[in-house]
Amino acid sequence: MSLMTGAPAPLFRALSPVNPSFAFSSLGGRYVVLGFLPPPGAERDAALEMVRRHPQLFRDDTCLFFGVLPDRESFDRAQNGGMMRWFADFDGALRRLYEAEGPDGAPIPRWVAIDPSQRILAWTPLDQAEKLFAYLQRLGPPGRHAGVTLNAPVLIVPRVLEPALCRQLIDIYRADGGAPSGVMRERDGRTVGVLDDFKKRRDTTLTDEPLLNSLRNRLHRRLVPEIRKAFQFEATRIERYIVACYDAEEGGYFKAHRDDTTAATAHRKFAVSINLNAEDFEGGNLIFPEFGPQTYRPPTGGAVVFSCSLLHEATPVTAGTRYAFLPFLYDEAGAELKAKNQHLLVSGAEGLIAQPDAAAAN
């Protein structure tokens, strides 16, 4: 490829001091500066000193610096901390992605700046750091990098579920009590479910077939036509029927993530978040970091619909308890992909990701 300003930044997973497979796609919502560094020596030392001179720029909430290290010895000594974060690039894969390697395989030292929407912003030689860093500072906070307010490409649809049905779903959850909800991770090419501090939520799976039919009917009659109109997508399949609970006492939240990043979730096309009691809690909104800091909150019985490839998070519930119905939608092509990848789903993880599918038209 050829780097072009405004083009999507090449995405990758790489070894870091904190994660053997760090997903670069998780960094949306902030500026990122990749420093493709030379071997140890005066040039590298001078480049890192330039980063250290700009603590007002390199802050966790605005702009992140990652040094890309070509040698194992330096990486083995590297630790994330302060303004410094690191990626290993022993085989040159990242350098080739970002045109930072010569024909002979030698590193071409450079800075590459990426905007909060994960698009290429600029790149310069290492000795032009001051010019690049001053440019980033002039752009201002990540939420204003475009010069105008950005809105996430999401659809809000009110009145999908009636208040009585919302209350019924909450009652089912309360009677069951819910169970800790995990996240999907890819390990050695397979999709596994894990419990960690990335999400604090409890879920109840709905199993009553008449109730599931009622939910499918409402989605088909009230939501699918709006998705067709807004996104020109024909949703025919539903995955998972859960009532989720984010409770303020647990600080309920779900950190920034995408919903289709593993082999066993690649078939998902749209996520649906239907609040069941929007008036009864504070916090607990959706945010799409690549499109700015504004939050999204559907009314009781209303849905927020968005592409599963969008980076999003559920902000912490600060008071009360949030209940939500959270299905995924996909189509017949997605059903074929799901069946093809089913063998990559580790046994025992099914409850975290998939319930029996059904045609949305039923």
Predicted pLDDT of residue 348:
41
Type of residue numbered 170 = I
Domains of the chain, by residue range, sit at 13-144, 155-359
| pTM recorded for the entire structure | 0.86
Whether 324 has a pLDDT exceeding 60, the answer reads: yes
Interval 170-197: pLDDT, tens: 999 999 999 887 665 666 666 555 556 7
Residue 272, H or E segment: strand 270-275
Token pair in block for residue 249: 């006492």
Q: How far from the centroid of its chain's Cα atoms is residue 86's Cα?
A: 20
> How far from 5 is each of 109, 136, 280, CA to CA, in Å?
18, 14, 45
- DSSP at 343: G
155-359: CATH topology: Jelly Rolls (2.60.120)
Contact 316, 182 (CB under 8 A): no
CA distance 204 to 178: 5
Range 121-147 average pLDDT = 94
Q: Mean of the per-residue pLDDT values for the chain? A: 90
Query: What sign results for the dihedral spanned by CA atoms 173, 156, 31, 39?
Result: positive
Range 257-278 average pLDDT = 94
Interval 9-67: pLDDT, tens: 999 999 999 999 899 999 999 999 999 999 999 999 999 999 999 999 999 999 999 99
Residue 215, CA atoms < 13 Å, CB-side half-sphere:
28
Predicted pLDDT of residue 7:
95
Predicted pLDDT of residue 18:
92
Domain 13-144: state its class.
alpha beta
CA distance 273 to 154: 11
Token pair in block for residue 130: 């001051």
